[in-house]
Amino acid sequence: MRTIVCTTGTSLAGPNNRFTETEGNAPYRQRIQDRLQREQREHPTDFLVNISAETNSLAKLKVTAKDRIVLLRTETQDGQVCAEGIKTVIEQQFDATVSIEEIGGLQVSDATVFKKNGVQNLFAALDRHCILPGGDSAKPGVFLNMTGGFKAVAAYLVLYGMLYQVPVVYLYEKSNQLLTLPPAPLQFDWERMQPAADAFIHLYKELEVSKKEFFERIPGASYEDRQWYETLLEDVGQGKVNLSAFGLLVARRLEQDGEVDEAVLMLSPSALKVWNSHADRRHFTEMLEKVQNPLSRRSEKHAGHRATDLTICKPITPGAPRMAYWVDNGKVYVGELFAHHDDYERFYGPNGPKRKKKDYGISEFSSLTPLDGLG
């Protein structure tokens, strides 16, 4: 079964059928019905091709009853009427399962609302339908169909598809060729983002700041890095900036990892014992500070271990201390600290305890603050 997520527009209404608020939905809907009946009567073989961009592209995708179609519509009245009409046609012609979802703020009359609300809500909807829960991976069999809808959305869909490895399809007008933009091997450069963590999170919370203030929060940024950070920003006038489409996607990725704020460090009794028993805590401090910051947490080298569902923080230096932890609701739970690589190997070796999350009592964890020696 495939899931095809489609943005929808008003092509179903036809080129000369305009919606007016004074007239209301009923006459607009009736004119659409009249057009559909006429097209089906006069052009039965080209019916799906002629009536809308959405149905034309779905026909080229060879939709069947096994497929699930998600129609993302604008919050406008004409967008609602047309999406409902498209849903009916899809159900009748393809026998597929169809749902409609309104995207708040997705409209063409107010660019500010579109950027602040519409794009955010669009990305949230795409996350729900395209991404596996709690991860960065796309769900199997998901496609983004950007043939319908207004052009301003297309760039965001392409960027989303590339960064989240979701195939994007597009049918040019009434051609017979369906274009597919395959997932590109692109990843966020989290390591390069680290110096801008404070500036980025501050902008995300404030929504809008001066460009001067943004870069003042990145001391020592080179000209090359400054140009790279510019891709996170969009000028809004009067020297102020907000997050660009790319910046919003970075923020959404961080939110999936917990919160954009620095996480609270929580140590298990065994981890706290190791922490308190070592006078030289440099390596531990470095690891803890990195996993506390969401951007640093993303860039730090981690490894999995088949014996546990905890994440292993694996420093580059051979034999250096390691840490086993997980993140939940804005807190980093450190299950184990290993002062030496041998300790780590014994713990997860054949005869070791090999603890998983369920083996720890959350109530027994203690918070670690700068007063305890961190920072």
By three-state DSSP, how is residue 10 classified?
coil
The pTM assigned to this predicted structure is 0.72
Mean model confidence pLDDT for the chain: 86
Mean pLDDT confidence for 279-292: 81
Return the ∠ at Cα 364 (arms to 358 and 369), rounded to 5°: 115
Question: Is the separation of the CB atoms in 235 and 111 below 8 Å?
Answer: no
Name the one residue in this structure whose structure tokens are 């970075």: 250
Mean pLDDT confidence for 345-372: 85
Q: Is the pLDDT at 318 greater than 70, yes or no?
A: no
Could you state, in order of their start, the residue ranges of all structural domains in the chain?
Answer: 3-181, 190-256, 264-372
When pLDDT is cut at 50, 70 and 90, the band that residue 38 belongs to is: very high
Q: Which helix (H) or strand (E) holds 68?
A: strand 68-73
Q: Is the pLDDT at 200 greater than 80, yes or no?
A: yes
Q: What is the pLDDT of residue 281?
A: 82
Of 288, 302, 272, which is closest to residue 331 (Cα–Cα)?
Answer: 288
320 token code pair? 């250096």
363: phi then psi, degrees, rounded to nearest 5: -65, -15
Q: Is the pLDDT at 255 greater than 90, yes or no?
A: no
When pLDDT is cut at 50, 70 and 90, the band that residue 185 belongs to is: low
Q: pLDDT per residue over 214-242, tens digit each?
A: 999 998 888 888 999 998 998 988 999 98
Mean pLDDT confidence for 188-201: 80
* Class at the top of the CATH hierarchy for domain 264-372: alpha beta
Dihedral sign from CA coordinates of 130, 135, 136, 139 = negative
Strand partners, 311: 325
Q: Which conformational region is residue 310 in: left (phi greater than 0), alpha (psi within -120 to 50 degrees), or beta?
A: beta
Q: What is the pLDDT of residue 211?
A: 94
When pLDDT is cut at 50, 70 and 90, the band that residue 2 belongs to is: very high
Q: pLDDT per residue over 63-72, tens digit each?
A: 999 999 999 9
Task: Tell which wins on pLDDT, 303 or 331.
Answer: 331
Q: Is the pLDDT at 80 greater than 70, yes or no?
A: yes
Distance CA 282, CA 275 (A): 11
Burial status of residue 214 (CB atoms within 10 A of its CB: 0-12, 13-18, 19 or more): buried
* Beta-strand runs (E) in 203-356: 209-210, 233-237, 240-243, 264-267, 302-305, 308-313, 322-328, 331-338
Q: Give the strand pairing for 142-145 and 209-210.
A: unpaired
Distance CA 120, CA 184 (A): 22
Architecture per CATH, 190-256: Orthogonal Bundle (1.10)
Mean pLDDT confidence for 298-314: 71
Q: Which conformational region is residue 246 in: left (phi greater than 0), alpha (psi within -120 to 50 degrees), or beta?
A: alpha
Q: Which helix (H) or strand (E) holds 91?
A: helix 77-94
Q: Is the pLDDT at 15 greater than 80, yes or no?
A: yes
Q: What is the pLDDT of residue 371?
A: 39
370 token code pair? 């700068």
Q: Which CATH number applies to 3-181? A: 3.40.50.10770
How many beta carbons lie within 10 A of that of residue 312, not counting itself? Answer: 18
Return the ∠ at Cα 181 (arms to 175 and 183), rounded to 5°: 160
Burial status of residue 219 (CB atoms within 10 A of its CB: 0-12, 13-18, 19 or more): exposed
